[in-house]
Amino acid sequence: MAEVRKIKALLYTEKAGRLEDNVCPPYDIISGEERERLIKRSPYNLVNLELPVDTFPDSCDRYDEAGKKL
């Protein structure tokens, strides 16, 4: 039988600013220029988690790094 578990939701506070400045389209359709534009709108934009800059060493997993940010 499948195990069903709840997941934690992401909640933005007023500190993060307007919600529309913190959301992004799906990562696979974001160009490099659009990524930069989204980050300039807000440092809390989800693009920082979904499409991080490739600054990680080869030994790092970008998804592990995104998990640490959460």
pLDDT in tens, 43-65: 899 998 888 776 555 556 767 77
- Which is nearest to 65 in space by CA: 42, 54, 2, 6? 54
**pLDDT score recorded for residue 28:** 87
**pLDDT score recorded for residue 29:** 92
Query: Could you tell me the pTM of the whole model?
Result: 0.65
Per-residue pLDDT tens for 3-25?
999 988 878 888 889 999 999 99
End-to-end CA distance of the chain: 30
How far is the C-alpha of 38 from the C-alpha of 23, rounded, in Å? 8
